[in-house]
């Protein structure tokens, strides 16, 4: 027999207190993007071992291998673990629909999670205890046993929670919790009435319990219908192959969440009408857009997208109508008050530096994201100025200068930087000279309140124009 080392433990136990883990959709996608970062020098061939180390030196071998250690436990116990998982999907308007291009299990699971899974609020994950009696193991065997045990437990909890909270299944866990809570209230409230001396209080408590059952049942059923129809409409929207339509639909739902049943009907009817109009007009507009970008091939590709859209977009609108109506009923039935946003999202520029919150920049950012139903969603906001004329605002992005009617969020005119030739201050106004075409140059005037404002706005346009030209200048 070899000289093995033996360790004896009478009682070994670990207890991990209950804790909570919270994450949201933005954090998950940020982790995925971070995992794809590049470091200078990674593409350089690695040096061989002989080039880095002196291979003539030898390290002394360990006198005791891991397998030579034997541990004996009379009782080995890892106590049950409870983790409360919270996951919330983002409702931000100023965020593009994420596209994950890299493969892997992690990215696939995150894509499924954020597409088909409902919000989790303290979803309990309960791991069973790992109990061993009189085991004789090596450290590596013990670690392998613990890893395999908790891996199997985690996979079981993941699928149980995921399927129970799946949007396309109607979030059955949420439905069960709401109905069971209502049933509990129906019996619990009258029981409290028995402790009260006045007989009429028993009837009042019984009415409270019954009302709670009805309210929570309606809430649960409408929530289920809303999630199922919303999941179906989101899936069909991707089949349309129209990214602009998908962006407008997402912005519309982020801006117009039904607060009650009537609001749900009006919002859903607007979604249906918008989808039908987009489907019908897309048959003409998509081939023209494709021909403008890619010629004959683009024309036929656009024609295919238009024909697909004329069938699928009205279906998306119909499911959005059902989703909005059921969500409005749900919000009418619930007794919880939805928290309202107190301020607009913060502007974070291209440098990605977090700066002090500026209400002026935030409202300009919201205008760009919502303008013309998301037509300028991908452009970066630079600055804006309110003009002497009521309801008119001029906005500078990283690609153009816009004149906008704010109340209707409609563009009066625009000058892309590719067409801009000169910017200059003329008294209280900023004059924008477009490049000459067919022997004639045209201009636009931005009337400001005073010369100082005109100077400030002219400088913002010049800076944005210079950056745009530098970024788009062809390489030598």
β-strand partners of 446? 430
Average model confidence (pLDDT) across the chain: 78
Distance separating alpha carbons of residues 121 and 142, to the nearest angstrom: 34
Answer with the residue of higher pLDDT: 290 or 35: 290
The answer to whether residue 76 scores a pLDDT higher than 90 is yes
For the ranges 303-307, 393-397, 449-453, the maximum mean pLDDT occurs at 393-397
What is the C-alpha separation between 251 and 273, in angstroms, rounded?
A: 16
For position 455, what pLDDT does the model report? Answer: 92
pLDDT of residue 179: 77
List Cβ<8 Å contacts ≥24 apart for 340-349: 345/92, 345/93, 345/94, 347/381, 349/380
Of the listed ranges 41-55, 160-174, 444-458, the least confidently predicted one is 41-55
460 closest CA partner among 369, 397, 388: 397
Question: What is the C-alpha separation between 30 and 26, in angstroms, rounded?
Answer: 6
Contact 206, 185 (CB under 8 A): no
pLDDT at 385: 92
Residues with Cβ within 8 Å of 126's Cβ and at least 6 positions away in sequence, in order, are: 80, 81, 82, 157
Of all residues in the chain, what percent carry a pLDDT higher than 70?
Answer: 73
Reference 89, options 266, 230, 268, 272; nearest CA is 230
* 171 neighbors 165 (Cβ within 8 angstroms): yes
Residue 50 clears pLDDT 70, i.e. is over it: no
pLDDT in tens, 350-384: 777 888 999 999 999 988 888 887 788 888 999 99
End-to-end CA distance of the chain: 76
Measured distance CA(210)–CA(90) in Å, rounded = 35
At residue 1, does pLDDT exceed 50? no
Residue 98 has pLDDT above 60, yes or no: no
H or E segment and range at residue 267: helix 261-333
Q: Are strands 69-73 and 5-9 parallel, antiparallel or unpaired?
A: parallel
User: What does the block give as tokens for 137?
Assistant: 């193991």
pLDDT at residue 243 is higher than 90: no
Distance, C-alpha 291 to centroid of its chain: 33
Number of H helices, E strands in the chain: 10, 16
CATH code that applies to domain 359-472: 2.30.29.30
Average pLDDT over residues 98-113: 54
CA pair distance 320, 92, nearest whole angstrom: 19
Burial environment of residue 229 by CB neighbours within 10 A (0 to 12, 13 to 18, 19 or more):
buried
Q: Name residues whose C-beta falls within 8 Å of residue 53's C-beta, 6 or more positions apart in sequence.
A: none
pLDDT digits (tens, 9 = 90+) for 429-464: 999 988 766 555 588 899 888 889 999 999 999 999
3-class SS at 71? strand
Give the span between the Cα atoms of 161 and 163, in whole angstroms. Answer: 6
Question: What ranges do the domains of the chain cover?
Answer: 5-34+67-165, 172-333, 359-472
Total Cβ atoms within 10 A of residue 444 = 17
41 CA to centre of own chain = 33
Ranges 13-27, 43-57, 173-187, 351-365, most confident: 351-365
Element (H, E) at 434: strand 429-434
Arithmetic mean of pLDDT, 151-169 = 73
- Its pTM stands at 0.56
- CA geometry: angle at 276 spanning 284 and 264, to 5°? 155
**Which segments of 165-260 does DSSP mark as H helices, in order?**
172-193, 199-239, 243-255
């Amino acid at each position: 027999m070899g000289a093995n080392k033996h360790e004896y433990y009478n009682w070994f136990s670990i207890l991990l207190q209950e804790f909570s883990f919270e994450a949201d959709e933005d954090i998950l996608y940020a982790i995925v993007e971070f995992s794809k970062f590049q470091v200078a020098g990674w593409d350089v061939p690695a040096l061989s071992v002989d080039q880095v180390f002196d291979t003539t030196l030898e390290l002394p071998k360990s006198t005791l291998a891991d397998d030579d250690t034997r541990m004996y436990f009379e009782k080995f116990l890892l106590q049950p673990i409870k983790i409360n998982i919270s996951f919330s999907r983002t409702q931000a308007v100023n965020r593009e629909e994420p596209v994950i291009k890299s493969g892997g299990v992690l990215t696939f699971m995150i894509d499924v999670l954020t597409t088909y899974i409902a919000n989790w609020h303290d979803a309990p994950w309960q791991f069973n205890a790992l109990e061993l009696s009189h085991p004789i193991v090596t450290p590596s065997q013990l670690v392998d046993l613990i890893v395999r045990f908790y891996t199997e437990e985690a996979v079981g909890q993941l699928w149980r929670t995921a399927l129970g909270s799946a949007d396309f299944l109607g979030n059955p866990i949420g439905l069960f919790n709401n109905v069971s809570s209502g049933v509990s209230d129906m019996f619990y409230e009258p029981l409290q009435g028995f402790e009260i001396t006045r007989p009429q209080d028993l009837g009042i408590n019984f009415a409270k319990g019954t009302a709670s059952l009805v309210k929570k049942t309606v809430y649960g059923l409408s929530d289920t219908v809303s999630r199922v129809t919303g999941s179906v409409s989101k899936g069909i929207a991707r089949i349309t192959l129209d990214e602009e339509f998908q962006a407008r639909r997402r912005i519309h739902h982020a801006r117009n969440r039904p607060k009650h049943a009537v609001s749900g009907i009006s919002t859903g009817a607007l979604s249906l009408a918008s989808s039908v109009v987009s489907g019908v007009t897309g048959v003409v507009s998509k081939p023209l857009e494709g021909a403008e970008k890619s010629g004959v091939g683009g024309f036929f590709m656009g024609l295919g997208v238009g024909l697909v859209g004329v069938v699928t977009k009205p279906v998306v609108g119909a499911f959005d109508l059902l989703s909005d109506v059921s969500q409005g009923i749900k919000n009418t039935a619930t007794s919880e008050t939805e928290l309202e946003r107190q301020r607009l999202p913060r502007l974070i520029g291209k440098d990605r530096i977090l700066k002090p919150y500026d209400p002026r920049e935030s409202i300009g950012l919201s205008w760009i994201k919502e303008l013309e139903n998301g037509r300028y969603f991908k452009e970066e906001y630079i600055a804006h100025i309110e003009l002497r004329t009521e309801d008119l605002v001029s906005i500078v992005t990283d690609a153009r200068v816009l004149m906008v009617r704010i109340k209707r969020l409609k563009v009066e005119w625009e000058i892309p930087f590719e067409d801009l030739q000169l910017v200059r201050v003329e008294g209280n106004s900023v004059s924008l000279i477009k490049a000459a075409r067919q022997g004639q140059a045209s201009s636009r005037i931005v009337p400001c309140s005073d010369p100082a404002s005109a100077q400030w706005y002219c400088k913002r346009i010049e800076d944005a124009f210079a950056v745009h030209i530098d970024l788009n200048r062809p390489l030598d």
